[in-house]
């Protein structure tokens, strides 16, 4: 888009917001329910776009479409209740918090869950009464177009949700534009720092959901069979390209050998190939550059003394495929243990006790999700309290769901998406005092 085209769309967003903010929750809810119904009736068609553009398996893409429809319904059903005036007892005859929309919100979104991550921003923003402007990842333009068309067909007015096809270098200028009132980003640390700097300079609210290197702690009392089965799914979901995928498997030495043997066998058994083939477990990496970065990270770990167990089942022919790989003998001081690994590569670290497990879990700049496997009540309590993360899932895989807040600490970002907390992020939380 040219600067003139962007300017027209920003003006339209402001005009639309001035009217849309006055609509009722019931009106907004009807639009989102219609959007959910449209998605539910078009699951294979929309999923095909996702798989074609970024390579996730068709089964995963269909699940993403259905999950997005679920989120639309959840916010449509719950926003009015969660945003109702909140009475606060004071000396006034009446005092309360009143939630109001802020205006046009810019969303800078990534390619790995190109529908879900947009919907989890758009659904609460639209129910609040804000309007959305989407700068999507450059390699998923058809998904971006499909989302804008979805909301248009659902009856939302022009300007309520609009694509801005601009380059990343243009985002800072957009944030500084007075017509945009806030910004949210899901992306890399570097992108998050750039957005946060621009938002701070412009004195605008921002929410950052950035990278992760989630720990998956396995202690001796764990159900090892369930832990291994879940560990495989947690590592290779979305071809391993998920911020909340388990990446560092921190295993107590009493069960480390058994876990490593079972885990490696299960990873080796995964089928890598055409993401449209129902037999495929792991599709291609999104780009050549991303695939080459995985090669570099794994080979660097090998050179530093780690042991690499690579599955011998890469398909022949074109495609940026990468074999599911287990890297054992990893220590927390290795660069690979400090970086985000965006692909089907699992790092296994051996620890002597729960203290060392918690220390290893916290020994990265990240703090997004975490998974802890133990049946000891005391160990559960310690991990919940002491693991630095935005979420702790006990005896379960980390996941996002509309009811629960989603976000991280440290360099994984700040603010929350989803749930009541995410719904209120881009609101004016107005104090009202009636004497």
Residues taking part in catalysis: 209, 243
| Beta bridge mates, 430 | 98
Question: Which residue stretches of 99-140 are H helix?
Answer: 116-128
DSSP character string of 282-309: B---S-HHHHHHHHHHHHHHHHTT-EEE
Q: Provide the 10 A C-beta neighbour count for residue 159.
A: 22
Residue among 224, 262, 247, 398 at smallest CA distance from 327: 247
Cβ–Cβ < 8 Å for 318, 339 = no
Say if residues 28 and 71 touch (Cβ distance below 8 Å). no
Rounded to whole angstroms, the Cα distance separating 230 from 267 reads 11
**Structure-token pair, residue 379:** 């160990």
Q: Yes or no: say if 150 and 115 are a contact pair by the CB < 8 Å rule.
A: no
Q: Given the structure tokens 């209120």, which residue do they identify?
A: 424
Residue 236's contacts (CB-CB under 8 Å, 6 or more residues apart) are 245, 267, 270, 281, 282, 324, 344
DSSP letter at 157 equals P
Q: How far is CA 165 from CA 90, 278, 335, 386, in A?
A: 49, 33, 35, 42
């Amino acid at each position: 888009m040219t600067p003139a085209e962007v300017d027209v769309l920003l003006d339209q967003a402001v005009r639309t917001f001035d009217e849309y903010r006055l609509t009722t929750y019931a009106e907004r809810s009807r639009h989102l329910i219609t959007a959910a119904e449209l998605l539910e009736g078009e699951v294979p068609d929309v999923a095909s776009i996702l798989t074609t553009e970024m390579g996730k398996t068709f089964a995963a893409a269909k699940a993403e479409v259905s999950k997005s429809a679920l989120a639309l319904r959840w916010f449509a059903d719950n926003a009015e209740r969660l945003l109702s005036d909140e009475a606060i007892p004071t000396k006034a005859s009446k005092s309360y918090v009143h939630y109001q929309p802020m205006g046009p919100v810019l969303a800078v979104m990534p390619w790995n869950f190109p529908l879900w991550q947009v919907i989890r921003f758009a659904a609460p923003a639209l129910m609040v009464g804000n309007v959305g402007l989407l700068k999507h990842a450059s390699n998923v333009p058809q998904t971006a177009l499909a989302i804008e068309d979805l909301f248009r067909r659902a009856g939302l007015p022009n300007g309520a949700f609009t694509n801005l096809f601009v380059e990343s270098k243009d985002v800072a200028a957009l944030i500084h534009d007075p017509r945009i009132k806030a910004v949210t980003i899901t992306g890399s640390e570097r992108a998050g720092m750039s957005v946060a700097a621009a938002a701070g300079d412009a004195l605008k609210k921002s929410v950052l959901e950035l990278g992760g290197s989630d720990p998956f702690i396995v202690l001796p009392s764990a159900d090892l069979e369930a832990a291994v089965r879940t560990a495989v799914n947690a590592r290779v979901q979305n071809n391993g390209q998920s911020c909340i995928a388990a990446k560092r498997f921190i295993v107590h030495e009493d069960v480390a050998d058994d876990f490593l043997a079972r885990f490696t066998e299960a990873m080796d058994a995964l089928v890598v190939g055409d993401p449209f083939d129902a037999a495929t477990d792991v599709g291609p990496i999104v780009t050549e550059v991303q695939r080459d970065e995985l090669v570099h990270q794994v080979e660097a770990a090998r050179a530093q003394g780690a042991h690499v167990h690579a599955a011998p089942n890469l398909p022949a022919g074109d495609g940026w495929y990468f074999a599911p790989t287990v890297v054992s003998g990893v220590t927390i001081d290795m660069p690979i243990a400090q970086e985000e690994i965006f692909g089907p590569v699992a790092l296994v670290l051996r620890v002597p006790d729960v203290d060392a497990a918690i220390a290893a879990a916290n020994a990265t700049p990240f703090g997004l999700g975490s998974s802890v496997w133990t049946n000891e009540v005391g160990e559960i309590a310690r991990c919940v309290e002491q693991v630095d993360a935005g979420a702790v899932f006990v005896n379960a895989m980390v996941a996002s769901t509309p009811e629960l807040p989603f976000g991280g600490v440290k360099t994984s970002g700040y603010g929350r998406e989803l749930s009541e907390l995410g719904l209120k992020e881009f609101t004016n939380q107005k104090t009202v005092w009636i004497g």
